[in-house]
Amino acid sequence: MKDPSPFPSFRAPYAPDDRVIAARLLETADLSAEQDARIDRTATRLIEAIRANDDRLGGVEDMLREFALSTKEGLALMVLAEALLRVPDARTADQFIEDKLGQGDFVHHETKSSAFLVNASAWALGMSARVIQPGETPEGTIGRLAKRLGVPAVRAATRQAMRLMGSHFVLGETIEAALARAEPHSADAARYSFDMLGEGARTANDAERYFNSYASAIGAIGGTADDRPLPDRPGISVKLSALHPRFEAVSRERVMKELVPRLIDLARRAKAYDLNFTVDAEEADRLELSLDVIAAAFSDASLKGWDGFGLAIQAYQKRARAVIDYTDDLARALSRRMMVRLVKGAYWDSEIKRAQERGLDDYPVFTRKAMTDLNYIACAQRLLALRPRLFPQFATHNALTVATVLELAGGDSGFEFQRLHGMGEALYAQLGQDRPELAYRTYAPVGSHRDLLAYLVRRLLENGANSSFVAIAADDNVPVATLLRRPAEIIGTADNARHPNIPLPRDLFQPQRQNSRGMEFGASPFPETRRQMIGRGSLFGVSGYRWIPAKSTVHLRYWAVLAAAERVPEALVWTGENNVHFEP
Ligand SMILES: Cc1cc2nc3c(=O)[nH]c(=O)nc-3n(C[C@H](O)[C@H](O)[C@H](O)COP(=O)(O)OP(=O)(O)OC[C@H]3O[C@@H](n4cnc5c(N)ncnc54)[C@H](O)[C@@H]3O)c2cc1C
């Protein structure tokens, strides 16, 4: 099949050595003393605004921290929540929960406080939020909770918690409800990018359902937008994994044939209303394929003359800088502009796990948060330098990151910030007050609770992780000075670029043994050329194959050997025609 993309594919080393990147980043990280002082002042003001925010106490953010996935209760809640979200009808959901909770000899009793049912954050009362102990299961934790509180209370609290979290993070269950809840699009109101919940389509029907929901959302968003030009227009974010059930590197040919036309179709609809249309960033092993799809769709002649097409780039990926340069090359080649959302990345835990499962040589993402922060700033600098061909959109809830970007930008126009609905409110409210010219966009998920789970897990991880800025900033015991520590200072030298407690995937089981080596189909065999592989004569260091020069004659002989053996022989020896014996 002829490839629909006229543009060369993206190639960059999948998982290079962190230390090499750190050396480069540290070299350029220094700012002047005046710049550092300004960053300190801006960040401190933003952190104080976050800490002064009254809504924080007793709100959903507190609850999320209380039920972080690293606590037993948080995990138990997610087990139940998962059941609740996946079971299609309420009656079956109830039965399922009853069944899960009813396995022990529970004493049913009503909870003492009626407030318990009103605010699920009360769940935290009377519970110790300890980290899971070896041998404990989430089900066991639920069982003990149910014993203490009674099954109906746990069921109600779980439902309440999900509703609370759903309404906190989701702007509306339908695009119409979300548009009604969004502030009207006006000169002084925030911009919106709507995200129809749903990802990882498993069937063609799923993909069609998501396509239709994107298509009708574009119509609804476009229909209510006023006539101001880009970038001051609402937008939509799409996930390629929602649009194709086989969005994976090994299905490239099929993906290019089937997904590219779908993406072009959606992009044309967005173009008709001059919207911002962003392709979200997903897992690292889909990056090359995503960029192939994006390049093919973006190159379509029907999208000419529109500056709204964009993509998200993750700074925790070691290839982030290369992706920015690729995007710039693409925009330059077509003489068009693109919008680029810079994020740190929301799939860190699964990236680490996946690389370990696959026994890769190294990780595609950094293992220290400060490296991600450092790379984010370097990428921000690069994006700002590539204006106006690229329109940078800095998506972060980290006050220090925001303050540093502001310093580097040298003005308030030509870029925007982005936040997620339900997060970063106090920070951006303060910023809006201090610098009214500055634009920011709210990323607003839309959808039913059924499609919420994957998104919710990422938010729970983000809010609960002890390295996460929102979690630390909310803790008044942490001095502001700690939050102002620069990533370059934390890393210090290139030798500290890797996390000391996260071994390389291949060393995961050391000193017992080496991890088995796997293949990453999502990575082109870069930087090793075929010639180098031939020279090496081995696959992953094991001489498992032999390269045969094209013109040599190949002779093959086969024997079928039938012999009784007491044990599996070590070798088979051929000593001449029809003379084969086992070596013991
Ligand atoms: C508007 C918007 C759109 C978004 N779209 C996307 C998207 O398309 N794709 C996507 O993946 N994410 C997306 N995100 C989520 C985004 O990646 C997270 O919100 C973001 O990483 C949190 O960064 P922060 O600067 O707010 O917080 P910080 O607390 O400063 O950073 C947290 C981040 O640091 C990184 N990190 C944490 N621990 C480590 C470690 N040990 N080693 C290396 N890195 C580490 C992770 O990326 C983690 O998310 C979006 C966010 C926003 C606000």
pLDDT digits (tens, 9 = 90+) for 185-196: 555 566 999 999
pLDDT of 355-377, one tens digit each?
Answer: 999 889 899 999 999 999 999 99
For the Cβ of 377 lying below 6 angstroms from any atom of ligand 1, the answer is no
Q: Which residue has its alpha carbon closest to ligand 1 atom 17?
A: 345
Q: Ligand 1 in contact with 342 (CB < 6 A)?
A: no
Which pair of structure tokens corresponds to residue 443?
Answer: 């990323």
Q: Could you tell which of 317, 339, 344 is best to mutate to test the pocket of ligand 1, judged by most ligand atoms within 8 Å of the CB?
A: 344
CA of 63 to the centre of ligand 1 (A): 20
Ligand 1: residue whose CA is nearest its atom 39: 369
> Tell me: the pLDDT tens digits for 202-259?
999 999 999 999 999 999 999 999 889 999 999 999 999 999 999 998 889 999 999 9
- List the domain range (segments joined by +) for residue 490: 18-52+170-447+479-496
Domain end: 430, 462, 496, which one? Answer: 496
For residue 524, pLDDT beyond 90: no
For residues 71 and 106, membership in a common domain is answered with: yes
The more confidently predicted of residues 559 and 514 is 514
Report if residue 426 sits inside a domain: yes
Task: Determine the pLDDT at residue 1.
Answer: 47
Distance from Cα 395 to the centre of ligand 1, integer Å? 8
- Cis, bond preceding 388 (omega within 30 deg of 0): yes
Residues 198, 73 share a domain: no
Q: How confident is the model at residue 278 (pLDDT cuts 50, 70, 90)?
A: very high
Is 281 contained in some domain? yes
pLDDT value, residue 479: 96
Same domain (yes/no): 106, 201: no
Domain contains 341: yes
As a whole number, the mean pLDDT across the chain is 81
- Residue 539, domain member (yes or no): no
Q: Which atom of ligand 1 is nearest to the CA of 312?
A: 8
| Ligand 1 atom with minimal separation from the 365 CA | 43
Q: How many domains does the chain have?
A: 2
pTM for this one?
0.83
What's the CATH code of the domain at 113? 1.10.2060
Which pLDDT score is estimated for 114? Answer: 33
My answer on whether 222 and 299 are in the same domain is: yes
DSSP 209-250: HHHHHHHHHHHHHHHH--SPPTTSS-EEEE-HHHH-TT-SGG
C-alpha of residue 369 to centroid of ligand 1, in Å: 10
Check pocket membership of 469 for ligand 1, CB cut-off 6 A: yes
Q: How far apart are CA 49 and CA 477, in angstroms?
A: 16
Give 175 Cα–ligand 1 centroid separation in angstroms. Answer: 25
Q: Is 397 in the pocket of ligand 1 (CB under 6 A)?
A: yes
Residue appearing with tokens 């967005």: 270
The pLDDT value given to residue 199? 82
Q: Ligand 1 pocket, 351 CB below 6 A? A: no
363/414 same-domain check: yes
pLDDT for 457 beyond 80: no
Work out the average pLDDT over 547-576: 63
Are residues 341 and 404 located together in one domain of the fold?
Answer: yes
Is 467 close to ligand 1, i.e. is its CB under 6 Å away? yes
Question: Are residues 200 and 146 both part of a single domain?
Answer: no
Confirm whether 456 is domain-assigned. no
Residue 542 within any structural domain of the chain: no
CA of 346 to the centre of ligand 1 (A): 5
Is the confidence at residue 19, as pLDDT, over 60?
yes
Could you tell me the distance, in angstroms and rounded to a whole number, from the CA of residue 484 to the centre of ligand 1?
Answer: 18
Q: Do 149 and 183 fall within a single domain?
A: no
Question: How far away, in angstroms, is 345 Cα from ligand 1 center?
Answer: 4
Q: Domain boundary residue among 167, 196, 224?
A: 167
Q: What is the CATH number of the domain that holds 398?
A: 3.20.20.220
Q: Is the CB of 398 under 6 A from ligand 1?
A: yes
Q: Is the pLDDT of residue 128 over 60?
A: no
Name the residue of 343, 353, 362, 401 to mutate for ligand 1: max ligand atoms within 8 A of Cβ: 343
> What average pLDDT does range 37-43 have in this prediction?
98
500, pLDDT greater than 80? yes
Minimal CA–CA distance to 461: which of 70, 167, 84? 70
Average pLDDT for residues 154-177, to the nearest whole number? 76
| 363 inside domain | yes
442 lines ligand 1 (CB under 6 A): no
* Tokens 């407030």, located at residue: 115
At 5 the pLDDT is 61
Whether residues 423 and 300 fall in one domain = yes
> pLDDT-derived band of residue 547, with 50, 70 and 90 as boundaries?
low
Segments of 289-379 assigned E as strands: 309-314, 338-343
Residues with Cβ within 8 Å of 476's Cβ and at least 6 positions away in sequence, in order, are: 51
Residues 231, 260: one domain?
Answer: yes
Residues 163, 174, single domain; the answer is no
pLDDT band at 522 (very low <50, low <70, confident <90, very high): confident
pLDDT at 469: 93
| Sequence-distant (≥ 6) Cβ neighbours of residue 307 within 8 angstroms | 230, 231, 336, 337, 338, 339, 391
User: pLDDT digit string (tens) for 325-334?
Assistant: 999 999 999 9
CA of 344 to the centre of ligand 1 (A): 4
pLDDT at 155 over 70: no
